């Protein structure tokens, strides 16, 4: 039985030293009931995204040198980890993966989102293949699993939704067959059936992968290993004097991640809450630091105010052409279309005639939405905005952040204060 799921993100495996650090961490752990979920190394996903854009701009006609940075980056890590022993089979395995990536990048005749998932998924395949071989070489025995055999989704490329029953069936079987060897698998990537094709769960989706595995395994804990000491009440890169949050309820954590606290992927918590599996956020740099724990606590925890900034927001204002009220009927129409287009409102506000919706910038989706609404509604929008949220708001806390910037929408409930503003 597998009881523990550990997730290691891109930063934790970004170079040879980082992978050695991972090995050191694992050496001290009981690995007999452990499944590791690993992301692409460092910024590989971004690099593949960029290569894909180049290939598409050239209708697939680019030399393999167009991806040489991605190849060299992995080769350097591999050479260092395997002491330049190029006769080790991993060198051939990785070369085949590089070639496969190249072939996939050339297939620009397909729908963009389809090709996107097929190519960016190589980031995770490269990292897990290399790390699994290295750990086995060091005596940390493990079995590499293809996550696409276990995480089954719909065909919604780039933000696929799990088919939970399928996932559960397959992961159940894995659990039954488990004989005590640590498993390693990829975050982020999945597959849809009939027709079988690679999908992804959306950027930063490896946390979600780990949560799906934890849920289906009925695991006892999920640990996400980070380069920070746990959860904080704001992003230290943006705000001075942040405070560590040692203990958090699922409810509160979901509220924070929903508004953009990027430390954990927002979809991660529900599958854990549903099975009451605690989530630990722990430092891979200093393993002696106490992790932050998110669980089903009912205890009263006195939360400090938390500050969350979500970048690249579109604010759309929608009014009925015939001047009818922005009533439930009109709102239902609009929200149904948004649901079909998979556009997720980060904030909404209604007046007599206007519905304002704030969502993540995405030109394609904005145009689709405008088109679908155009018969009955007039639409205006602004791009390049920020959504700023304060949980456990106290009067005046927003002042330093807002300064003299233009506020587009302001909203306040008992515990949450939000504004949409320009940069
Ligand atoms: N590699 C993917 C990304 O960079 C998934 C992840 O890291 O969670 O978005
Ligand atoms: Mg990541």
* C-alpha span between 346 and 364 (Å, rounded): 18
Atom of ligand 1 nearest to the CA of 203: 9
pLDDT of 259: 85
Q: What percent of the chain is predicted at pLDDT more than 70? A: 100
**33-79 residue pLDDT tens:** 999 999 999 999 999 999 999 999 999 999 999 999 999 999 999 99
pLDDT of 108: 97
Residue 368: CB atoms within 10 A of its CB come to 16
pLDDT of 208: 98
Contact assessment for residue 208 and residue 39, using Cβ atoms and an 8 Å cutoff: no
Would the pLDDT of 420 be above 90?
yes
pLDDT of 266: 87
pLDDT of 260: 81
* Ligand 2 midpoint to CA 9 (Å): 5
Angle between helices 206-217 and 164-177 (to 10 degrees): 70
* Ligand 2 midpoint to CA 200 (Å): 13
Would the pLDDT of 300 be above 80?
no
Local confidence band at 301 (pLDDT 50, 70, 90 cut-offs): confident
pLDDT of 262: 78
Q: Which of 124, 74, 70 is closest to 94 using CA atoms?
A: 74
Q: Is 224 in the pocket of ligand 1 (CB under 6 A)?
A: no
Residue to substitute in 52, 187, 209 for testing ligand 1 pocket (most ligand atoms within 8 angstroms of CB): 187
Q: Is 121 in the pocket of ligand 1 (CB under 6 A)?
A: no
Neighbours of ion ligand 2 (CB under 5 A): 9-10
Q: What is the DSSP letter of 162?
A: B
Identify which ligand lies nearest to the alpha carbon of 124: 1
Q: How many helices (H) and strands (E) does the chain have?
A: 12, 19
Chain-centroid distance of CA 214 in Å reads 16
| Across 329-337, average pLDDT | 98
Atom of ligand 1 nearest to the CA of 204: 8
Local confidence band at 361 (pLDDT 50, 70, 90 cut-offs): very high
* C-alpha span between 250 and 347 (Å, rounded): 21
Residue to substitute in 47, 73, 123 for testing ligand 1 pocket (most ligand atoms within 8 angstroms of CB): 123
User: Mean pLDDT for the chain?
Assistant: 96
Local confidence band at 303 (pLDDT 50, 70, 90 cut-offs): confident
Q: Is 278 in the pocket of ligand 1 (CB under 6 A)?
A: no
Positive or negative, the Cα torsion across 138, 48, 167, 338?
A: positive
How would you list the strands of the sheet with 189-192, edge to edge? 152-153, 189-192, 197-200
Cis peptide bond upstream of 145, omega within 30: no
Atom 5 in ligand 1: which residue has the minimum CA distance? 204
Q: Is 267 in the pocket of ligand 1 (CB under 6 A)?
A: no
Q: Is 291 in the pocket of ligand 1 (CB under 6 A)?
A: no
Residue carrying the six token digits 């975050």 = 187
Residue to substitute in 50, 125, 200, 205 for testing ligand 1 pocket (most ligand atoms within 8 angstroms of CB): 205
254's tokens: 């979901």
Distance (Å) of CA 126 to CA 20, 24, 41, 120, 139: 17, 21, 8, 10, 20
pLDDT of 125: 98
pLDDT of 129: 98
Quickly name the fold that domain 306-421 has: VC0802-like (3.30.2130)
Local confidence band at 197 (pLDDT 50, 70, 90 cut-offs): very high
Domain 4-219 class, CATH top level: alpha beta
Q: Is 39 in the pocket of ligand 1 (CB under 6 A)?
A: yes
Local confidence band at 170 (pLDDT 50, 70, 90 cut-offs): very high
* Ligand 2 midpoint to CA 412 (Å): 31
CA atoms within 13 A on the CB side of 237: 6
Q: Is 45 in the pocket of ligand 1 (CB under 6 A)?
A: yes
Would the pLDDT of 100 be above 90?
yes
pLDDT of 173: 97
What are the residue boundaries of the structural domains of the chain, listed by start?
Answer: 4-219, 306-421
pLDDT of 237: 87
**110-166 residue pLDDT tens:** 999 999 999 999 999 999 999 999 999 999 999 999 999 999 999 999 999 999 999
**240-282 residue pLDDT tens:** 889 999 999 999 999 888 888 878 998 999 999 999 999 999 9
pLDDT of 272: 98
Instruction: Kindly provide the residue ranges of all beta strands, DSSP E only, lying in 209-363, ordered along the sequence.
Output: 221-226, 231-232, 244-245, 247-249, 279-283, 292-295, 306-320, 347-350, 354-360
* Ligand 1 midpoint to CA 353 (Å): 40
């Amino acid at each position: 039985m597998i009881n523990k799921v550990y997730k290691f993100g891109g930063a934790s495996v970004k170079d040879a030293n980082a992978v050695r650090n991972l090995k050191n961490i694992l050496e001290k752990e009981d690995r007999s009931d452990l499944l590791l979920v690993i992301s692409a190394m460092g910024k590989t996903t971004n690099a593949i995204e960029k290569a894909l854009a180049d290939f598409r701009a050239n209708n697939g006609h680019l030399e393999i040198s167009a991806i040489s940075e991605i190849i060299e980056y992995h080769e350097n890590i591999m050479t260092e980890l395997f002491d330049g022993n190029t006769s080790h089979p991993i060198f051939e395995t990785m070369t085949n993966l590089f070639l496969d990536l190249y072939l996939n990048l050339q297939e620009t005749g397909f729908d963009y989102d389809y090709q996107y998932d097929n190519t960016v998924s190589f980031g995770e395949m490269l990292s897990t293949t290399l790390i699994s071989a290295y750990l086995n070489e060091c005596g940390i025995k493990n079995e590499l699993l293809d996550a696409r055999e276990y995480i089954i989704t719909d065909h919604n490329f780039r933000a696929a939704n799990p088919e939970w029953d399928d996932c559960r069936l397959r992961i159940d079987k894995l659990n039954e067959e488990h004989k005590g060897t640590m498993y390693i698998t990829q975050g982020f990537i999945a597959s849809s059936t009939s027709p079988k094709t690679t999908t992804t769960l959306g950027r930063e989706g490896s946390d979600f992968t780990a949560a799906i595995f934890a849920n289906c395994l009925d695991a006892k804990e999920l640990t996400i290993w980070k380069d920070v000491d746990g959860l904080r009440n704001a992003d230290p890169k943006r705000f001075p004097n942040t405070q560590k949050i040692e203990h958090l309820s699922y409810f509160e954590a979901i509220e924070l991640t929903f508004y953009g606290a990027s430390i954990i992927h927002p979809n991660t918590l529900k599958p854990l809450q549903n099975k009451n599996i605690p989530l630990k956020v722990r430092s891979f740099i200093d393993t002696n630091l106490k992790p932050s724990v998110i669980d089903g606590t009912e205890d009263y925890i006195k939360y400090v105010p938390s500050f969350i900034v979500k970048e690249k927001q579109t604010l759309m204002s929608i009014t009925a052409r015939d001047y009818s009220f922005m009533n439930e009927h009109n709102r239902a129409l609009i929200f149904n279309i948004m649901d079909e287009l998979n556009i997720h409102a980060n904030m909404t506000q209604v007046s007599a005639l206007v519905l304002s919706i704030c969502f993540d910038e995405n030109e394609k989706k904005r145009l689709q939405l405008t088109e679908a609404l155009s018969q009955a509604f007039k639409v205006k929008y602004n791009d390049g905005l920020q959504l700023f949220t304060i949980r456990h708001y106290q009067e005046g806390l927003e002042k330093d952040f807002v300064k003299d910037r233009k506020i587009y929408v302001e909203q306040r409930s008992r515990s949450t204060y939000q504004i949409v503003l320009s940069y």
